[in-house]
Structure 1
């Protein structure tokens, strides 16, 4: 094999080996125990089981929040044929497959942009071992982890296109963006889009200065076409999600109360809840400046351990010292710091003095913009401006996540700087100045915190008050705060050492006291010595469990077993032993009133806020006061919202019998009376005043379906088939019936049929479906048939075929022009190299 090809492939092999060693337990058949994946198992159980039993995909689940689309849970999107390529790599067990992509695509980007492959290897390790990937993967944010891996390839394509390699750049950008969208974490894709916008603005400014507007416009035009094609390849994903988003908590509410917080997106406080302050941002450089995580292992090196070991069993003292709540920052929850690395941060500062031109300024702009936006509520003027005026910004929460483009830009700057030094493209004067200033800035900052740790704050956390209430004595709390101070000093001094060593290697290489290969080896050693142990605190061998444990994360309780003995075809369960609205365990076994999802239907969330939550509180009070057997009917009848949702079983003790509604309304029923109301406010208010067994509330926009009609209850309706995406009822009555279904209304996919012919249905009681069914014997069917998915799939297939044809055409032209796929080396270039 050609030596040059080997020199490019061998670093990728080394990247794979590095990742495989770090995540070695996966090759023993183990998997990471991820909290969000445990929730996912609960969310997706019905969907997965249905696929196994029928071979069909369902786009609706009935087990969460009384029913919702599956688009953001687990939907198999078809049409994007480019995914076939990435699916081959993803057959490698996670997280090795994800991490290998994270490493290798950054490596590929650098190689495509002309960086030496071995320097690209070092750059890939520096970027690939930033702790963001490890912390979010450990939490179970798999789609987030996968999406950010494609940023490198996207930026490579864009830069190539702007450097007049338009066709290659556009095709690479199309591929990267199509994979990114397919990974289905739109927030991370959106943040990548912000960086692309910054690149375009900087390149445009330079195009004006260099009088190169036409080439800029050509490159921008072909990149715009590439984006359209990538979107087209994923229309089957994007269209249903876009359609659904309007009806979720990210859409605009029809309610007019609490106007100052209402928008067509998430509530402002919810968006900005997870915001960085300046201290949190500095954890990119000093990992435990704010303590690290909610559970840090210090062992016998802890002052808490010393205090407890003198007063109680050393084993118990060690257990506590290995799970210390050291985190004292501003985040509600912290699984670990987003540490970029001392070496990476130093090289970024060094690059500010070494790298020049347009690439320097888009990198600087990206770092500044992403840092400012990550501050969220601590920079309200900017955050409010973005929420109010920047398209789609109000659809996403946890704004600190925008640091993904900050860490990328900083890693890219460091790689460019090292490449320039390696090629000796700067003068001795510039190098010496850059090295001195960067060491003074980075090393000096670390040293200041090592010597004066109090600059970071007072080491107290909001959780300290809860520890006192839990019985922690003041003396133990003082020891905990001393440990927080200790880890800050330790990490700050550690950062200083790594900065000093990295600067020393640079100096030695520049002064020709160290050969290039030795300098490169030392840089890699420094990077891994810095990042490996830090990441191992948050994702290590103890994070892995047997695969069977993750495949069956929930245990059937006695209450669950008793409920499952109910032979009724469909009913709902309310679990009062957990928070019903942050719980996926109930959905694993039953059709739940609650669930766990960040994009539930807005109307259902409003029903929770206005009725279900108050009813649960009322129900809990009655249960706490003791409930006689003859009062059970009163318990359910006093909660009309839960009643109309066919809540048949309450779990009040997992080890005891559930409370069962003796007279549930069932899956469908008839009512005599209806009340027309003028808007959503009136509709949701009226629910507390009706008996759902006899009366419904209808928004006046649906008046046409009941206008002039009177109803008298008689006859029957029975549910015969209850699949996630298909419901079948047998109806029999000698008069027209206003029929209510205890199913969530969603008209962007659910179609109703009477005796095989499509029939209209409408919304009642704020969230339910209803039909006016004519007299006689009928078969009523509801089928979930989202045209956005089926038509979108056809568009995706067509776009994928166009992309494949373009790639083949490009390869054909390249082979014809170069006499092969690889460009032939020029003779004069070979002479120069000699």
Structure 2
């Protein structure tokens, strides 16, 4: 007799899930309703990303070519994490588009979070009401809302897909190997395509814990073979999911050793602790939480959230990580009531996430930073709390499933489980100062400074108490609902009654999660029209003055501007009216950059603001993975020069101030903006795109090089590493002083110079050095590209007139793209093949046993 369902039975089984998914779609659509009305959420980090990738995107639009290097910020850097597109060869990106169902951003990311959490609960056997309840809690958790509002879309997309990976892992161990492997491979590929490896890395702790627990369970039940096969197939699925993402991951892995996440080059000052590799401990923990702040997952204003009174230990807080009082109470109860082996990895990982989220380091944090591979590569350890968010659908879903199945008994243990969260919040509300500190010890406590300690404490207690008692009431509802459901099930109540009670809890959960989410994302605040989202910046007076000056200097600039404006006008989908004028303004500066190459320094947030890169090539910028050498230059030379400039401009005059910035002159910073609304300061000291050094000093090692750079007063004098001493053999200091170098053509990743020199000389470029990929030729003959001035490029040029060309060529990138294309085919074959095997009844528990 066939086990397959009759069509009518299948419809009855599937229809409730379809209806639940429609409800989730409505929730995502209504929460971000304005995204369907021609608006986009203003996201600061997305604006920065648009600015820093504009040069690369404009180049792609003009030529169809993908540049691997950009001069948009920090004097130049690879585009591996800055606009390099790989979605055309990545099946993970294709599957991600299917998951987003055509929803506009950011509603699409919220929808993916809701669907993946629903899937996780559903594959565990939870009904539609239970699955919807946990999905709503997961999706509307403020960690998603906060980071979408800030523009961390990749982070949220990565978090959103984590339940899908967990669903695959659990299905493989508990239901069907091939179905689970297919799901795990598909969602891992989508997760990796989001390109936020920190979240994927943290998930590995939870997946590893579940894998160990499931393996122990299977071995103890005599199914060791099944444990071995399942683990092996899941590892293979992860490997297959990795290949399509290789076009991005491989270049990123090659790039990482040269960034601030790689080896430290300079000896730290006395008394300063710096990791040999990876990020500094203080930098990693800068945005981590104080010990009591993690309770915000249950009480959002436990430390003030985004209130001006905020008294936590984070350097800055946009709001609390809130996972819901109801869901957290049910999760705590599940850890007490359920005997499933999963409670042990969930308990251990939850405790681990809590401790590692703390700012003040414990022995455990130090151990992880020093000994756990990869942990020190990521900052902001409070993000580990999202593992608790990911466990909620499992713990809460399985608990409520057991309740509906009558597996939870009416006994003392039930009352203990229900009483724990109630008692905790009761104690917090009754004795707040016993359990929590109400002063900030990391950053200046503005509330105490302005209000006085007593008044600040009074107001903070009001904020604290209001939210504690709010959560207390919600927990009472949740625990009363749990007790009622168990009692009704024990008394033989109809399933419809139990489901109705769970549906009521889902409704209350939606209301409570929605209300807190709206604290951080009001329905009508922060939205801009689509054209303002895509073109986020407008030219200020300083920008327009720079443009006018370049047009005056070079007639070819005006021609390039007109050509680019015409190209953009022809490609723009729709009429360009007054509101769309920003589109043409951006095109003007894009046209300028095709024929003119110089850099701009904005003294306001030079190294924390990327807006300058939208219209100019910038000395500064904003990025989480800067080149290590450039970061060293920023900290040891560029920032001190800017401080010296500000001091001298007020005391000794502008000429003296500009002369005190020799390294900025090397970077060809031809304009300095001190106020965007005012005229910029022309920098007559800027050396141009390339120049011949009038002398040099040899330095042995990074410390000696940096010391020489710090003491440098003559911008035309070079600092050369000792390893390049042979290359300078026969080069006489000052012999090439009459030499000239002119940049005659360029793209983001290629330059051509016309060089003339009376003698053999050291030519220095105002371009940042990168040890891989850059190839240099003199009259078509390969020549050695040197690293000079700690972070710039140089070359020895023989006497005479020459053509010097540089190109950024990385065959490994194309190889990775080819491998990704093949891997995408393999992934789709594996996913659909696995689903077919499961449909045919293969991979069942019985078969593997």
Matched, 1:595 2:621: yes
What SS does the corresponding residue of 2:617 show, helix, strand or coil?
coil
Superposition pairs of residues 264-279 of structure 1, within 5 angstroms: 264-279=277-292
1: CA distance, partners of 2:764 / 2:740: 12
Query: What's the CA shift for 1:635?
Result: 3.1
Residues 276 and 378 of structure 1 are in contact (CA less than 8 Å); yes or no, is this contact kept in structure 2? Answer: no
What SS does the corresponding residue of 1:266 show, helix, strand or coil?
coil
2:394 to 406, 412, 428: 412
1: CA distance, partners of 2:641 / 2:769: 21
What SS does the corresponding residue of 1:407 show, helix, strand or coil?
helix
2: CA distance, partners of 1:383 / 1:504: 38
1: CA distance, partners of 2:389 / 2:56: 37
What SS does the corresponding residue of 2:89 show, helix, strand or coil?
coil
- What TM-score does the superposition give when structure 1 sets the normalisation length? 0.89
Q: Deviations over 1:75-108 (max 9, x none)?
A: 2114222321222444311121101110111111
Stretches of structure 2 lacking an aligned partner (at least 5 in a row): 1-6, 555-595, 845-849
Q: Which residue of 1 aligns with 2:610?
A: 584
Matched, 1:290 2:303: yes
Q: 1:571 to 1:464 in 2, by over 3 A?
A: closer
Q: Deviations over 1:764-793 (max 9, x none)?
A: 010010112234433222222233321111
Query: What's the CA shift for 1:246?
Result: 0.7
Q: 1:811 to 1:658 in 2, by over 3 A?
A: closer
Q: Which residue of 1 aligns with 2:721?
A: 699
Residues 435 and 503 of structure 1 are in contact (CA less than 8 Å); yes or no, is this contact kept in structure 2? Answer: no
Q: Deviations over 1:435-482 (max 9, x none)?
A: 31122111111122222232344534467754576xx454xx755543
Q: Which residue of 2 aligns with 1:658?
A: 680
Q: Which residue of 2 aligns with 1:721?
A: 745
Q: Deviations over 1:137-173 (max 9, x none)?
A: 1121111100011111111111222236222222221
What SS does the corresponding residue of 2:686 show, helix, strand or coil?
coil
Query: What's the CA shift for 1:485?
Result: 1.2
Q: 1:168 to 1:468 in 2, by over 3 A?
A: closer
Q: Which residue of 1 aligns with 2:801?
A: 777
Query: What's the CA shift for 1:354?
Result: 2.5
1: CA distance, partners of 2:357 / 2:823: 35
Q: 1:484 to 1:793 in 2, by over 3 A?
A: same
Q: Deviations over 1:661-719 (max 9, x none)?
A: 22431101112433322111111111244455543111122333223443621442210
Q: 1:758 to 1:434 in 2, by over 3 A?
A: farther
Q: Which residue of 1 aligns with 2:423?
A: 444
Matched, 1:493 2:469: yes
Query: What's the CA shift for 1:763?
Result: 0.4
Q: Which residue of 2 aligns with 1:52?
A: 61
Matched, 1:540 2:540: no
Superposition pairs of residues 535-684 of structure 1, within 5 angstroms: 535-541=517-523, 542-567=525-550, 569-576=596-603, 578-625=604-651, 627=653, 632=655, 634-684=656-706
Query: What's the CA shift for 1:362?
Result: 1.6
2: CA distance, partners of 1:69 / 1:473: 49
Q: Which residue of 1 aligns with 2:212?
A: 201
Q: Which residue of 2 aligns with 1:43?
A: 52
Q: 1:705 to 1:126 in 2, by over 3 A?
A: same
2:755 to 716, 723, 731: 731
Residues 171 and 807 of structure 1 are in contact (CA less than 8 Å); yes or no, is this contact kept in structure 2? Answer: yes
Q: 1:572 to 1:228 in 2, by over 3 A?
A: same
Q: Which residue of 2 aligns with 1:318?
A: none
Q: Deviations over 1:535-584 (max 9, x none)?
A: 110012213233333334333222221122343721111112x1211111
Query: What's the CA shift for 1:607?
Result: 0.8
1: CA distance, partners of 2:393 / 2:763: 61
Superposition pairs of residues 130-145 of structure 1, within 5 angstroms: 130-145=141-156
Q: Which residue of 1 aligns with 2:589?
A: none
Residues 509 and 519 of structure 1 are in contact (CA less than 8 Å); yes or no, is this contact kept in structure 2? Answer: yes
Residues 183 and 831 of structure 2 are in contact (CA less than 8 Å); yes or no, is this contact kept in structure 1? Answer: no
Q: 1:468 to 1:503 in 2, by over 3 A?
A: closer
Matched, 1:237 2:248: yes
Residues 644 and 692 of structure 1 are in contact (CA less than 8 Å); yes or no, is this contact kept in structure 2? Answer: no
Q: Which residue of 1 aligns with 2:95?
A: 85
Query: What's the CA shift for 1:360?
Result: 1.6
Residues 162 and 219 of structure 1 are in contact (CA less than 8 Å); yes or no, is this contact kept in structure 2? Answer: yes
1: CA distance, partners of 2:53 / 2:607: 16
Q: 1:679 to 1:36 in 2, by over 3 A?
A: same
Q: Which residue of 2 aligns with 1:227?
A: 238
What SS does the corresponding residue of 2:59 show, helix, strand or coil?
helix
Q: Which residue of 2 aligns with 1:281?
A: 294
What SS does the corresponding residue of 1:531 show, helix, strand or coil?
helix
Q: 1:742 to 1:810 in 2, by over 3 A?
A: same
Q: Which residue of 2 aligns with 1:316?
A: none
- What TM-score does the superposition give when structure 2 sets the normalisation length? 0.87
What SS does the corresponding residue of 2:322 show, helix, strand or coil?
coil
Query: What's the CA shift for 1:120?
Result: 1.2
Residues 131 and 397 of structure 2 are in contact (CA less than 8 Å); yes or no, is this contact kept in structure 1? Answer: yes
Q: Which residue of 2 aligns with 1:510?
A: 486
Q: 1:24 to 1:812 in 2, by over 3 A?
A: closer
Q: 1:103 to 1:783 in 2, by over 3 A?
A: same
Stretches of structure 1 lacking an aligned partner (at least 5 in a row): 297-324, 824-834
Matched, 1:384 2:394: no
Moved more, 185-194 or 669-678: 669-678
2: CA distance, partners of 1:635 / 1:229: 57
1:163 to 147, 167, 174: 174
Q: 1:559 to 1:505 in 2, by over 3 A?
A: same
Residues 243 and 748 of structure 1 are in contact (CA less than 8 Å); yes or no, is this contact kept in structure 2? Answer: no
Residues 646 and 742 of structure 1 are in contact (CA less than 8 Å); yes or no, is this contact kept in structure 2? Answer: yes
Moved more, 400-409 or 267-276: 267-276
Query: What's the CA shift for 1:807?
Result: 3.2
Q: 1:80 to 1:757 in 2, by over 3 A?
A: farther
Query: What's the CA shift for 1:511?
Result: 2.6
1: CA distance, partners of 2:451 / 2:284: 36
- RMSD, aligned α-carbons: 2.3
Superposition pairs of residues 250-261 of structure 1, within 5 angstroms: 250-258=261-269, 260-261=273-274
1:17 to 3, 20, 26: 26
1: CA distance, partners of 2:782 / 2:398: 62
1:482 to 435, 454, 458: 458
Equivalent residues, number: 777
Superposition pairs of residues 165-204 of structure 1, within 5 angstroms: 165-204=176-215
Residues 612 and 621 of structure 2 are in contact (CA less than 8 Å); yes or no, is this contact kept in structure 1? Answer: yes
1: CA distance, partners of 2:130 / 2:817: 42
Q: 1:372 to 1:764 in 2, by over 3 A?
A: same
What SS does the corresponding residue of 2:664 show, helix, strand or coil?
helix
What SS does the corresponding residue of 1:782 show, helix, strand or coil?
strand
Residues 669 and 739 of structure 1 are in contact (CA less than 8 Å); yes or no, is this contact kept in structure 2? Answer: yes
What SS does the corresponding residue of 2:309 show, helix, strand or coil?
coil
Q: Which residue of 2 aligns with 1:349?
A: 332
Residues 277 and 378 of structure 1 are in contact (CA less than 8 Å); yes or no, is this contact kept in structure 2? Answer: no
Q: 1:689 to 1:625 in 2, by over 3 A?
A: closer
Q: Which residue of 2 aligns with 1:302?
A: none
Matched, 1:685 2:712: no
Residues 178 and 837 of structure 2 are in contact (CA less than 8 Å); yes or no, is this contact kept in structure 1? Answer: no
Matched, 1:62 2:71: yes
Q: Deviations over 1:285-333 (max 9, x none)?
A: 111111121xx4xxxxxxxxxxxxxxxxxxxxxxxxxxxx121111111
